Amino acid sequence: MADKLVTNARDLTNSEYFYGHRACAGCGGSLALRLAMKVLGPRTFVAIPANCMSAVSFLHPQISFSTNSMISPFAATGAVLSGIEAGARALGMKDYHVVGFAGDGGTADIGIQALSGAIDRGDRIIYVCYDNEAYMNTGIQKSGLTPYGSSTTTSPAGRNLPGATRMKKNMFEIVAAHDIAYAATASIGYPEDYLRKISKAAQCASTSYIHVLAPCSTGWGFPIEKTVEMGKEAVDCGLWYLAEFENGEFRLNRKPREFSSLEDYLKKQARFRHLTDKDMDVIKGNRDRKWKKIQDQWTV
């Protein structure tokens, strides 16, 4: 159990609880799960809906979680977590965590109803959305968290469309609007910040939600060794942000003095390589509007 906050590699246990999985080399999602599991420890119940992480770690007889774990129905991560928690509570179990790891589609699209229900009940569960911005497991189709201009297999960029035509759903604030006890955004590009947030979620007596950006080299189209770097650049260029929602207040955790080059970040990825200057302007405009709101309304 995480009694004090884990914020660095030194405090992080050497033990691995998510190991020997078949994720692609350099998978950002698997790093997000691995680190969370190290913070949460051996007395953890894990539920994962259909996504890359369940597809690579529950291949009987090769089971990668050394803690209790199960695959949940795609739409029902929140409900399964609630059920586990209610069952464990009713049976008098003590000193454990219940965590779910759903992807962007599993959270913002098909799983949003069950997630909303779980937050509404306030069960002591941790819901982690690892966001790689498309349905990667099924072959890179557009999800509700696919950003504008991203070319996916169902939002192909072409002569008429720039790829996806909508901005990401604002899951963090949708979740916060439930008046959840604790919610945070994170990125595997800032692993220490992410560890701290998982630790805080572990100490939360009610429902908590962590939305972690988890770059996917296969789906985004960048060299596999740059997974963590891409997660960092997304934050540095202002397209993602590190924030928390606690006691009804939004707080920005990292305020870049100035943004790094948005164009550089985008052009490193095959999914954005087609973008025109006009598309760049759309993305920049959206980014700046978002940051204006953050500046005006959040504690920064």
* Window 221 to 260, contacts with other proteins (CB under 8 A): 224-229
Say how far apart CA 65 and CA 149 lie, in whole Å. Answer: 36
Nearer to other proteins by Cβ, of 71 and 198: the residue is: 71
Q: Does residue 71 interact with other proteins by CB under 8 A?
A: yes
Q: Does residue 138 interact with other proteins by CB under 8 A?
A: no
DSSP for 159-217, please give it.
SS-BS--SPPP-HHHHHHTTT-SEEEEEETTSHHHHHHHHHHHHH-SS-EEEEEE---H
Nearer to other proteins by Cβ, of 85 and 131: the residue is: 85
Q: Does residue 93 interact with other proteins by CB under 8 A?
A: yes
Q: What angle do CA 15, 20, 21 make, to 5 degrees?
A: 120
Alpha helix stretches (DSSP H) within 44-104: 52-57, 77-90, 104
**Contact with other proteins (CB under 8 A) among 73, 252, 274, 282:** 73
Nearest C-alpha neighbor of 17 from the set 37, 32, 40, 35: 37
Are 36 and 198 spatial neighbours (Cβ–Cβ below 8 Å)? yes
Q: Does residue 205 interact with other proteins by CB under 8 A?
A: no
Say how far apart CA 163 and CA 149 lie, in whole Å. Answer: 5
**Contact with other proteins (CB under 8 A) among 4, 60, 159, 278:** 60
Nearer to other proteins by Cβ, of 122 and 246: the residue is: 122
Are 245 and 178 spatial neighbours (Cβ–Cβ below 8 Å)? no
Do β-strands 126-131 and 97-102 pair in parallel, antiparallel, or remain unpaired? parallel
Q: Does residue 130 interact with other proteins by CB under 8 A?
A: no
Q: Does residue 85 interact with other proteins by CB under 8 A?
A: yes
Give min distance, CB of 270 to other proteins, in A.
18
Residue 192 CB: number of other CB atoms within 10 A? 14
Give min distance, CB of 193 to other proteins, in A.
12
Options 51-59, 126-134, 145-153, 291-299: segment touching other proteins (CB under 8 A):
51-59
Nearer to other proteins by Cβ, of 21 and 211: the residue is: 21
Nearer to other proteins by Cβ, of 226 and 268: the residue is: 226
**Which tokens is 254 given?**
């990292």
Q: Which of residues 11-40 bind other proteins (CB under 8 A)?
A: 12, 14-23, 25-28, 30-31, 34-35, 38
Nearer to other proteins by Cβ, of 88 and 300: the residue is: 88
Q: What angle do CA 210, 212, 217 make, to 5 degrees?
A: 160
**Contact with other proteins (CB under 8 A) among 3, 5, 40, 89:** 89
Give min distance, CB of 157 to other proteins, in A.
27
Give min distance, CB of 200 to other proteins, in A.
18
